[in-house]
A and B are shown apart, each in its own frame.
Chain A
Amino acid sequence: MTNEATEREPTREELRRRFRVTLVRVMSVQVVTLLLLWLLQHAFSS
């Protein structure tokens, strides 16, 4: 038996909120990563 039975189905609003929160978190990390790569590209090219 899995945890499935005890899991409550999330509502549409909960899903939207979860998507937004996760998207913001993941994209924030990616922006920082891309900024670091951009710095790597530009800081040493002079």
Chain B
Amino acid sequence: MHPLNWVIIIGWLSYVVITGLRRSRGTKEIEGYFLANRSLPWWAVGLSVMATQLSAVTMIGTTGQGATDGMRFVQFYFGLPIAMVILGVTLVPFLHRAHVYTAYEYLERRFDAKTRALTAFLFLVSRGMSCGTIVAAPAVVFSAIFGWPIGVSCAVIGLPAVAYTMIGGVQAVTWVDVKQMYLIVGALLAVVITLLVQIPVPAGEALRVAAAGGRLHVFDFSFNLSNTYTFWSGLIGGAFLMLSYFGTDQSQVQRYLAAKSVDEARTSLLISAYWKIPLQALVLLVGVLVFVFYQYHPQPLLFNPAHERAVKAAMPAEYADLEARYNASHLLVERNALRGQALDMAAIVTHEPVKDVNYIIPRFVIDHLPIGLAGLFIAAVIAAAMNAISGELNSLSTTTVIDFYRRWIRAEAPDAHFLMVSRAATGIWGLFACIVATYAVSLGSLIEVVNRFGSFFYGSILGVFLLAMMPRARALGAFVGLIAGMVAVGAVNFGAPSVSFLWHNVVGATTVVIVGLVLSAFSGSSEPALRGAAVPALTPPARDSARDSSYR
């Protein structure tokens, strides 16, 4: 790669790390470190929420999906806007007024300590593992493209984010996210414009080529439970997933808890409601245009350069023959079949997973983008990874300290002590993520396992929070309901494996609410009175007086 590209990448990384460290003022107290003293404006919170959700997988995996599968993935987000509106009048005001650090902290006030501990534990396990996969996905690609050892790739992606998150807390995370979002959107727009210039036909004709290849097919109105990307699974299953993710996942909740007021927190989520689908369409459009670009330019038979080198070395004659036939062919079906054969050869030679959708965009960027723009796009990929990692690390540290360390180990201590423990927890989780990332690469299917594991309880945790807003719900019902929800999702997963994971969220949340309400009806009189408000957004729960000194 041209040195100017490296200058841009290193320059940008240095700039955001310095920005993060500068923004670390106000983090001498634990509320400043975890919640920015509840001082952040709505637009910064909103951009940070979007940035945390937009990882490097989006930049290289989703764009690659656009190239191979077209625009239909956008249906996944159809339930998001309505979920944001619902959260804006339910959980957001409720949690913000509760003056909690974590969503799970509230569950103890409303139910009991074991419900809080279990939900917080599930969050730590799933997010800790997923943080590793967030580092792993781009690290694998960078290693293959640049020939770096996997450890170096993990360090380049993970260490800057760990550094500013450790020192600056949520303040640093949020303001770096804002800067990085400008870079990411700018880089995506610049690539779209460059592609339109480089494709040797007018834009309308390019889109006709994309449509002929099935890449502009957005809507699938079939009601098929085994298909993740349909209008209905996106609208219904997606709404449940987004309600759970934005309403109960600490990596998101912590953002809007840091907003200046309930109104600012609510408005911050509306940024996602308005812009998430157009942004996702833009990401997919990059892939679609790369598909069109390769209809007019020579396309690599294998996009993963490491696999390409390995196959060329091990089976030179067979690969050369396949490549010649591939370049001579103009039929999409035939070209796809030849690419399939090449992928099979790569699998035989490397004994590694050979799905090379994640390499399409990086390869295009390195081979075809102008000097400077390639560096800008790679900086944007690293930026996206850093945004997701920093958000996750910050929330993992908060949950570790607030829901476990301060709750079970040391309830009273000066803020300086909790601050030191929080920074240590951030560093340890960062190290854990890098170790998981290194192993995730060699295990191959771990990423899928982690994603499936996450889908086991996302809906169930949403169910517990729904119960928390119902006056009749009791602690026993919530705890047993949570376990019943996860069991139900497990039964669906193993009993009907073809059912898409998006529907797991619907199954989990519904089971928890039904089981929870039924059990609560039988256990109601024997339990203590509600510790929190029953109706959302109207009456904030009373503060825990024993810990009031910490809520400054």
In contact, B538 and A37 (Cβ under 8 angstroms): no
In contact, A40 and B218 (Cβ under 8 angstroms): yes
Decide: A40 near B273, CB < 8 A? Known: A15-B89, A23-B85, A27-B81: no
Q: Which residues of A contact B81 (CB under 8 A)?
A: 26-27, 29-30
> Of the candidates A3, A15, A45, which one forms a contact with B261 in the assembled complex, judged by CB atoms under 8 Å apart?
A3
Decide: A37 near B74, CB < 8 A? Known: A22-B85, A30-B81: yes
In contact, B262 and A7 (Cβ under 8 angstroms): yes
Interface centre among A12, A15, A27, A40 (most CB of B within 10 A): A40
Decide: A26 near B218, CB < 8 A? Known: A7-B262, A44-B210: no
Q: Which residues of B contact A7 (CB under 8 A)?
A: 261-263
Closest to B97 in A: A4
In contact, A22 and B216 (Cβ under 8 angstroms): no
Tell me the B341-392 residues at the A interface (CB within 8 Å).
none
Decide: A9 near B261, CB < 8 A? Known: A26-B85, A29-B274, A41-B219: no
B interface residues, tally (CB under 8 Å): 35
Tell me the A25-46 residues at the B interface (CB within 8 Å).
26-27, 29-30, 33-34, 37-38, 40-41, 43-45
Binary B-proximity of A1-17 (CB < 8 A = 1, otherwise 0): 01110010110100100
Tell me the B200-250 residues at the A interface (CB within 8 Å).
204, 207-208, 210-212, 216-219
In contact, B260 and A40 (Cβ under 8 angstroms): no
A31 to chain B, nearest CB (A): 10
Q: Which residues of A contact B217 (CB under 8 A)?
A: 41
Decide: A37 near B261, CB < 8 A? Known: A27-B81, A29-B274: no
Q: Which residues of A contact B51 (CB under 8 A)?
A: none
Decide: A27 near B82, CB < 8 A? Known: A18-B89, A19-B89, A37-B74: yes
* Bound Cα distance A30, B527 (Å): 45
> Of the candidates B39, B85, B207, B210, which one forms a contact with A19 in the assembled complex, judged by CB atoms under 8 Å apart?
B85
Interface centre among B78, B82, B216, B270 (most CB of A within 10 A): B216
- A-B contact number at CB 8 A: 74
Closest to B536 in A: A15
In contact, B71 and A40 (Cβ under 8 angstroms): yes
Closest to A11 in B: B538
Interface centre among B84, B210, B217, B273 (most CB of A within 10 A): B273
* Bound Cα distance A46, B208 (Å): 8
Q: Which residues of A contact B89 (CB under 8 A)?
A: 15, 18-19, 22
Q: Which residues of B contact A26 (CB under 8 A)?
A: 81-82, 84-85, 270, 273-274
Interface assignment of B11: CB less than 8 Å from any CB of chain A: no
In contact, B538 and A12 (Cβ under 8 angstroms): yes
Q: Which residues of A contact B39 (CB under 8 A)?
A: 2
Decide: A44 near B260, CB < 8 A? Known: A26-B273, A37-B74: no
* Bound Cα distance A22, B89 (Å): 10
* Bound Cα distance A19, B84 (Å): 11
A-B pairs, 5 with minimum CB distance: A44-B211, A3-B261, A44-B207, A45-B211, A19-B89
A7-B263, A41-B218 are known contacts; what are 19 more A-B pairs with Cβ within 8 Å?
Answer: A2-B37, A4-B261, A10-B537, A12-B538, A15-B538, A18-B89, A19-B85, A22-B88, A22-B270, A23-B82, A27-B81, A34-B78, A37-B219, A37-B281, A38-B219, A40-B71, A44-B208, A44-B210, A45-B212
Binding site for A on B (CB under 8 A): 37-39, 71, 74, 78, 81-82, 84-85, 88-89, 97, 204, 207-208, 210-212, 216-219, 260-263, 270, 273-274, 277-278, 281, 537-538
Q: Could you give 6 example pairs across A and B, Cβ below 8 Å?
A: A7-B263, A19-B85, A19-B88, A29-B81, A33-B278, A45-B212
